[in-house]
Amino acid sequence: MKAKGILITGADGFLGRGLVAALATRGDTDTVVATDVREVEPARRLPGVTYRRVDVRDEGLGALLAEHRIDTVVHLASIVTPGKGSTRALEYAVDVGGTRNVLNACLAQGVRHLIVSSSGAAYGYHADNPAWITEDHPLRGHEAFAYAHHKRLVEEMLAEARRQHPALAQTVLRIGTILGERVDNQITALFQKPRPIAIAGSDSPFVFVWDEDVVGALLHALSGDAPAGCFNLAGDGALGIHEIAARLGKRARVLPAGLLRAALAVGHALGVSRYGPEQIDFLRYRPVLLNTALKERFGYVPKKTSAQAFEAFVAARRAQGRPL
Domains and CATH numbers, the chain: 5-183+209-234+288-303 (3.40.50.720)
Q: What pLDDT does 279 receive? A: 83
- The predicted pLDDT at position 272 comes to 66
User: Which pLDDT tens digits describe the chain residue by residue (324 residues)?
Assistant: 899 999 999 999 999 999 999 999 998 889 999 999 999 999 999 999 999 999 999 999 999 999 999 999 999 999 988 888 889 999 999 999 999 999 999 999 999 999 999 999 999 999 999 999 999 999 999 998 999 999 999 999 999 999 999 999 999 999 999 999 988 888 888 888 899 988 998 888 999 999 999 999 999 999 999 999 999 999 999 999 999 999 999 999 998 988 888 877 777 677 766 677 788 888 889 999 999 999 999 999 999 999 999 999 999 999 998 888
Neighbouring residues of 176: CB distance < 8 A, sequence distance ≥ 6: 120, 206, 207, 208, 209, 232, 233, 234, 235, 289, 306
Give the per-residue pLDDT at 273: 67
- pLDDT on residue 297: 98
Query: Residue 134's pLDDT is what?
Result: 98
